[in-house]
């Protein structure tokens, strides 16, 4: 504990914080057990073939019933696609000295499916501890900081400390598939205020230095190429949809990277990206020229560019290929999230979080941007200056997802340091 004893400023605050940080350290085994129990409950969205979050919400509510929080509220959002017809959200509160100031940690219960089981070395829904890591689907995304936030608040409550600001933890549903049953309706219920400090621990880097303040536009494209099917030995009688799609893919990628080539060092990578990804099967046999072909692109566009202009450029390129090949092109946007206004690197939440991270991890946090999407963008579009932070190896959505045990404990210490700030 010497590091924390030396670095935390303010005598009264220092004494409070020492006790809280020591208690969090002593909670390590309990935190591992709680996270392990959550892994056993696959809270997968009905959109992804699951049952939703009700069972995990029940477990969490039972877990925290004895934590002594000032208020625990469950907000159920109707969802006819769920077996329970609802999607649960949990709000945890600790009252602060200043009832007008609020700190929010926004975490999510839902997880993505396990994917190809052959790529897993362990059962994704049974916790396995190995080499100081805990393995399982959802441990990093978002179990690590869900547990960290709860135990940081518990430590403060058990120590009898009343923080300056109100502490609020939102444990939400549906983050992985659109937030229609989570953050979006909660914002509509006016739970948040414009000057609240809002932290979404759903992204980060290995050394815990990245505080994400901006995200690129996300534009997914489904490109359907329509030609004319014929025998493989007589291509002149048809229009090869697959060949036309390949020509379009090569041409559009080259044109997009050439035209939209601005660099912004806030982001990693610092450029817009336009990548072909998924490819659907066309004909089942080798000796038939396909009359239809479908592939997808994942475009992450810097906020400087109008995504509708980019989309028009894509369709214009398709028109040139259509004239050359005789094929037709149809486009859909399965996901389209224009970049939200960025949070200022000088915002109060950024400065306060920087101080807490540096005190615990002894590093140099910085404000940056990402190409991925988080529900922080939903807050920013609604006018709330939210940030994203956690210390992660970023195994989220991957096989053999894991979380470092020390990250669970130390992220909790970051939140406690933030909560105890005068």
Residues that are catalytic: 110, 175
Distance CA 273, CA 384 (A): 27
Q: In the structure encoding, which two tokens stand for residue 111, read together?
A: 């997880």
Q: What is the CA radius of gyration of the chain?
A: 24
**Beta carbons of 247 and 324 less than 8 angstroms apart:** yes
State the CB neighbour count (10 A cutoff) for residue 296: 16
Distance CA 248, CA 242 (A): 10
| Strands (DSSP E) found in 185-289 | 197-200, 210-215, 217-226, 230-231, 273-279, 288-289
Between CA 374 and CA 372, with CA 332 as vertex, the angle to 5 degrees is 20
Distance CA 3, CA 30 (A): 23
**Beta carbons of 61 and 44 less than 8 angstroms apart:** no
Name the strand (E) or helix (H) holding 183.
helix 183-188
Q: In the structure encoding, which two tokens stand for residue 358, read together?
A: 């540096």
Between CA 184 and CA 188, with CA 185 as vertex, the angle to 5 degrees is 95
Distance CA 127, CA 33 (A): 9
DSSP codes joined into one string, 280-307:
----SSTTEE-SEEEEEEEEEE-TTS-H
State the CB neighbour count (10 A cutoff) for residue 195: 12
Between CA 308 and CA 313, with CA 220 as vertex, the angle to 5 degrees is 35
**Beta carbons of 289 and 203 less than 8 angstroms apart:** no
Judging by DSSP bridges, how do beta strands 98-108 and 165-172 pair with one another? parallel
Q: In the structure encoding, which two tokens stand for residue 277, read together?
A: 């990804």
Query: Taking Cα atoms as reference points, which of 206, 183, 137 lies closest to residue 373?
Result: 183
Query: Taking Cα atoms as reference points, which of 136, 143, 142 lies closest to residue 114?
Result: 136
């Amino acid at each position: 504990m010497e590091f924390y004893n030396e670095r935390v400023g303010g005598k009264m605050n220092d004494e409070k914080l020492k006790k809280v940080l020591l208690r969090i350290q002593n909670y390590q085994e309990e935190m591992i057990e709680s996270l392990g129990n959550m892994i056993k409950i696959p809270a997968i969205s009905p959109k992804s073939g699951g049952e939703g979050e009700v069972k995990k919400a029940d477990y969490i509510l039972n877990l925290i019933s004895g934590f002594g929080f000032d208020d625990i509220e469950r907000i159920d959002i109707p969802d006819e696609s769920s077996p329970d017809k609802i999607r649960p959200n949990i709000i945890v509160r600790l009252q602060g000295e200043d009832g007008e100031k609020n700190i929010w940690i926004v975490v999510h219960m839902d997880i993505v499916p396990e994917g190809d089981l052959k790529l897993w070395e362990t059962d994704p829904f049974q916790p396995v501890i190995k080499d100081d890591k805990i393995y399982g689907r959802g441990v990093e995304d978002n179990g690590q900081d869900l547990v960290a936030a709860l135990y940081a608040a518990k430590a403060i409550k058990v120590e009898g400390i009343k923080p300056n600001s109100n502490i609020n933890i939102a444990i939400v549903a549906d983050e992985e598939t659109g937030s229609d049953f989570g953050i979006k309706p909660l914002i509509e219920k006016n739970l948040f205020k414009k000057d609240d400090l809002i932290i979404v621990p759903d992204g980060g880097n290995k050394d815990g230095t990245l505080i994400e303040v901006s995200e690129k536009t996300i534009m997914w494209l489904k490109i359907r190429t329509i030609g004319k099917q014929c025998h493989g030995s007589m291509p002149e009688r048809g229009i090869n949809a697959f060949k036309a799609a390949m020509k379009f893919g090569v041409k559009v990628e080259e044109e997009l990277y050439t035209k939209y080539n601005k660099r912004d060092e806030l982001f990693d990578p610092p450029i817009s990206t336009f990548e072909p990804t998924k490819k659907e099967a066309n004909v089942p046999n080798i000796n038939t020229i396909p009359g239809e072909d479908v592939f997808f692109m994942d475009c992450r566009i810097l906020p400087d560019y109008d995504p509708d202009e980019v989309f028009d450029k894509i369709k214009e390129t398709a028109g040139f290929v259509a004239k050359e090949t005789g094929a037709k092109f149809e486009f859909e946007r399965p996901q389209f999230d224009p970049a939200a206004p960025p949070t200022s690197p000088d915002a109060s939440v950024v400065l306060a979080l920087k101080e807490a991270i540096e005190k615990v991890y002894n590093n140099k946090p910085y404000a940056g941007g990402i190409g991925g999407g988080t529900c922080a963008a939903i807050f920013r579009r609604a006018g709330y200056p939210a940030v994203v932070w956690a210390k992660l190896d970023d195994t989220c959505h991957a096989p053999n997802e894991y979380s470092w045990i020390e990250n669970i404990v130390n992220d909790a210490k970051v939140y406690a340091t933030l909560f105890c700030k005068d």
